[in-house]
Amino acid sequence: MNDFPIAFAVHRHDPPGLEVRVNFGVYASRGATPAEIDKLAEWLLGEIGDVTIVAEDRHEIGSHTEASVHQVRIEVTDVPAEFAERRALEGRLVERAEHWARLCAAERNLEATDA
């Protein structure tokens, strides 16, 4: 375990071919659970072969401002080369991600009112 660094600098980062950001906290007022991320992955794999999903608490801090959001990033590296196909894929992923976020927020709100 001591052979692996805890923190390290990244000198080069290859951006994904397509990135979709979901402001999850805006709808759910919380971060996404691991089970919810798994459900999102299931829904996305119907459209794409491989995906990276990052759930994060993002803090943007400046000398006069501070913001904190629960955000989910969907990263796809293998995207169509043709612009129209890429835009169509992007639209389908955004649609699925929006539906997923709304469903997660609604399900948790129903659970809270049932308790």
Residue stretches of the chain with pLDDT short of 70 = 1, 108-115
d(CA 72, CA 75): 10
- DSSP 3-state of 108: helix
For the chain, list the domains and their CATH numbers: 18-114 (3.30.70)
Measured N-to-C along each axis, helices 83-114 and 34-44 cross at an angle, to the nearest 10 degrees, of 150
Contacts of 56 (CB under 8 A, 6+ apart): 70, 71, 72, 73
Q: Which of 101, 40, 100, 42 lies closest to 69 in space, CA to CA?
A: 101
Q: For strands 66-76 and 18-22, give the pairing.
A: antiparallel
